[in-house]
Structure 1
Amino acid sequence: MHPYRDLPDYCFWSRSMPSLHPGRIDPVTRSDFITASDKVATIGSCFAQHISRKISELGLNYYVVEPGPADASPADRLKENYGVFSARYGNVYTVRQCLQLFDRAFDAFTPTEDAWEHPDGGYVDPFRPQISPSPFATVEDLREDRARHLRAVRDMFTGSNWLVFTLGLTEAWRSTLDGSVYPTAPGVAGGRFDEARHEFVNFGIDDVRRDLHALIEKLRNINPTVKILLTVSPVALAATFERRHVLTSTVLSKSILRVAAEEAQQTFEDVIYFPSFEIITSAASCGRYYDDDLRQVNRIGVDHVMRVFEHHFIQSDAIRPDERRDDAPSLVSFSNEPNDVVCDEEVIEKALQRSGLGRVTA
């Protein structure tokens, strides 16, 4: 007799990993089904967009509070970042950024920096600098659009039944004046970097844990029944500001986020971790789930993750083929290629090219 005797097969590597075809590995051990009427919202890094598409493809209720102008074409809506996520906030990479977005939506925090000048003229929002290919003509236009956006974000937080939050990064840039966290460094997609006003920060496990718990508690105060699905993006950092190899920084960031997600799942009811990160990065895939750049996830990897997601979170009787929603904002706005995702972090490479440095090489 020993304590391992009656454990299920998934507790043993030999029974759940090498014995299966790599495409059939399924590390999910906790399921909770999304119904056809549930409003499912998404926020976070670029990988969250794949779950948005899957929800739309299945005909479920992908909750989009900023769908864009009704008379705009799908291509035009995509250019303006409508339907990419539930609201037009672009990539929300860090937990601190998401927590501050929540506070801004409920008038609990107003950042000091209001607008950044764009190199080509006009202005961009420091907290979503790439939501449009064209900058705002005036600061007043920017403020009006942001006010509408934050009202929509408030509706998203209060009205969703599920919130899918994909944790992406721990590295960020913030204001030294009030701690505001930006999705990109000042000067990369707008604005001007100033050492007296801006600083680099790499959030540690204590920071991320505290921020994630605070976010969940605040969300539950205004939406007590919402279920939260946490994932960690398997997409590597595009760049690190730490003086170490980007691969090492990637592993550190993802490890911190993974631990924080696990502790949140153990602490809060109806908070579930979904292991998309583990599926993509597993040794069983032999690197076949990444594009040639070894960063973006390819179609094979995305399909594996989505098969597992559908199996554990979508009831087969919740949808029928004739109920698939061909007009779902996230579905019509994208091509069928999985790497056709909006990734604000990649603007770093574009900034290097503008500076004449080109692509960074080893």
Structure 2
Amino acid sequence: MNPYQSLPRRSFWRSAVAEPDMLAVGELWTPKFTIGPDDPVLTAGSCFARHIGPALLEHGMNWREVELPPPGLTAAERRARHYGTFSFRTGNIYTAAALRQWLSWALDDVAAPDEIWSEGGRFFDPYRPAVDPDGHPSAEAALAARQVTLAAIRNAIVEAGCLIFTLGLTEAWQDRDAGTVYPVCPGTRHGTFDADRHIFRNFTVAEVHRDLSVAVALARTVNPRLTVLLTVSPVPLTATATGEHALTATTYSKSVLRAAAGQLAQEFEYVDYFPSYEIVTGFPFRGVFFAPNLRTVTSEGVDFVMRHFFDAIERRAAGAGPLPRTGTRPTRPTEASDGGDLLCDDAVLDYYNAG
């Protein structure tokens, strides 16, 4: 006997990935904790995360949008002002450092900077410059609007059951003096770039893990019951400031985020990882869920991801686990089952695949 003889079909590449039709690949996620239909769920993160909240709501789950739009706005105006996109009007939170920053301002009595950008007589918040596309009439109004969002974050975290956070990037621009990170490079969406002040950062696994750990600890300080579900956006980088090719820079970024999220999920029972990144970009799916620009995830791709999510949540709620294996193979294999894998030492493990 050896440990591979009792593994389920989903543990083997051939039976779990290579042989099934790509739409039949399943059991990609076994949730560590339940998310019930009445549990308040918050969503935040990169641009891919904007799909999650509305999908939860449509499925009958208790997604919380804690900053509601004022009356009179059209649907287009609500979207442009980031209503109905995430639980809070923070705009996209691409990095773990930015999540830590927002939660520190909202939950830890850390004073947010009073920096405001002025352009054409209007005033913009550097830490969410896209949330109010027309800006504010004064710097004071911009800062007051941020305080509304910080209060909403605090109130929502205190009452939440689960926070779903989607990691998007490792690259960010940081204020050299204040140490704060921006969601986009100054000068690209409002503001003015200052090479002496604005420095480029490409966070490491250790740094992402540190920032995630602090962010989760902050949230659970005010709500010890909170669970956190991490995921990684499958959307590649639009551009990289590293000087590398966009493809290799994307690989670095997503690998770092995936590793840090996975490590945190291993360390804490109240943190889990959902594989939206793998579901879209994995080998068996052959890139079919990307639009022709090879970056935008199609609506079919979003639906496919959420189908896996809801299927797993419902299995968890029903108490269903993986199917048991029956039967063993008493003799040891003498050669790899696939001649093309003869140079791969671990190819012998497919012998124990009963599928």
TM bin (shorter chain): 0.7 to 0.9
Distance 1:241 1:49 in 2: 25
Question: How far does the alpha carbon of each residue in 1:219-266 deviate from its partner, in whole angstroms, 9 at most, with x for none?
Answer: 111110111111000000011000110110100000000000111101
Residue 81 of structure 1 deviates from its aligned partner by 1.1
Q: Which amino acid aligns with 2:49?
A: A
Is 1:97–1:183's contact at 8 Å kept on the other side of the alignment? yes
1:87-129: CA deviation from partner (whole Å, max 9, x where unpaired): 10000000000001011113533344510123x4311101000
8 Å Cα contact 2:128-2:183 kept in structure 1? yes
1:106 aligns with 2:107: yes
5+ long unaligned stretches in structure 1: 319-362
Look at both structures and tell me which one has the larger radius of gyration over its CA atoms.
2
Shift in alpha-carbon separation, 1:218–1:116, aligned structure 2, 3 A = same
SS at match of 2:221: helix
- State whether residues 108 and 218 of structure 2, in contact with CA within 8 Å, keep that contact through their aligned partners in structure 1: no
1:47 and 2:24 matched: no
- 1:311 and 1:49 map into 2 onto residues whose CA distance is 20
The Cα of 1:132 is off from its aligned counterpart by 1.9
SS in 2 for 1:17: helix
Q: How far did 1:59 drift?
A: 2.1
State the one-letter code of the partner of 1:44.
Answer: G
**Corresponding residue number in structure 1 for 2:244:** 244
Residue 314 of structure 1: how far off its partner (Å): 4.2
The answer for the alignment partner of 2:130 in structure 1 is 130
Percent identity (aligned) = 40
Tell me, yes or no, if structure 1 residue 94 matches structure 2 residue 95. yes
How many equivalent residue pairs? 317
Instruction: Calculate the aligned-residue CA RMSD, in Å.
Output: 1.7
Q: CA deviation at 1:146?
A: 1.2
Residue 10 of structure 1: SS of its match in structure 2? helix
C-alpha distance in 1 between matches for 2:315 and 2:89: 29
For residues 135-214 of structure 1, what are the structure 2 equivalents within 5 Å? 135-214=135-214
1:77 alignment partner AA? R
CA contact (8 A) 1:31 1:313 kept: no
Whether the 8 Å CA contact 2:92–2:183 is kept in 1: the answer is yes
Asked whether the 8 Å contact 1:31–1:312 carries over to 2, the reply is: no
SS in 1 for 2:41: strand
Corresponding residue of 2:326: none
Q: Distance in 2 between matches of 1:87 and 1:130?
A: 13
TM-score (norm 1): 0.84
Q: What secondary structure does 1:5 align onto? A: helix
Counterpart in the other structure of 1:347? none
C-alpha distance after superposition, 1:145-195 (max 9, x if no partner): 111111111112222111000000000001001210000111111111112
CA distance in 2, matches of 1:211, 1:302: 27
TM alignment of 1:302-317, pairs within 5 A: 302-314=302-314
Q: CA, structure 1 residues 73+317, in 2 after alignment: closer, same or farther (shift >3 Å)? A: farther
The 8 Å contact of residues 111 and 178 in structure 1, kept in 2 or not, is answered as no
Superposed counterparts of 1:1-362, under 5 Å: 1-26=1-26, 27-30=28-31, 32-106=33-107, 108-112=109-113, 114-118=115-119, 120-314=120-314
In the TM superposition, what is the alpha-carbon distance from 1:37 to its structure 2 partner?
1.3
Deviation, 1:283, is 1.4
TM-score with structure 2 setting the length: 0.85
- The Cα of 1:78 is off from its aligned counterpart by 1.7
**Structure 1 residue 133, shift from structure 2 partner:** 2.1
Structure 1 residues 149 and 140, CA gap change in structure 2 (3 angstroms): same
Given that residues 45 and 166 in structure 2 are in contact (C-alpha distance below 8 angstroms), is that contact kept between their aligned partners in structure 1? yes
Rounded Cα–Cα distance in structure 2 between residues aligned with 1:9 and 1:315: 17
- Cα distance change on mapping 1:153 and 1:170 into 2, 3 Å: same
CA–CA distance in 2 between the matches of 1:146 and 1:209? 27
Unmatched tracts of structure 2, length 5 or more: 319-355
Question: In 2, Cα distance between the equivalents of 1:87 and 1:57?
Answer: 18
AA in 2 matched with 1:191: G
For 1:175 and 1:217, the matched residues in 2 are separated by 24
Residue number in structure 2 paired with 1:344: none
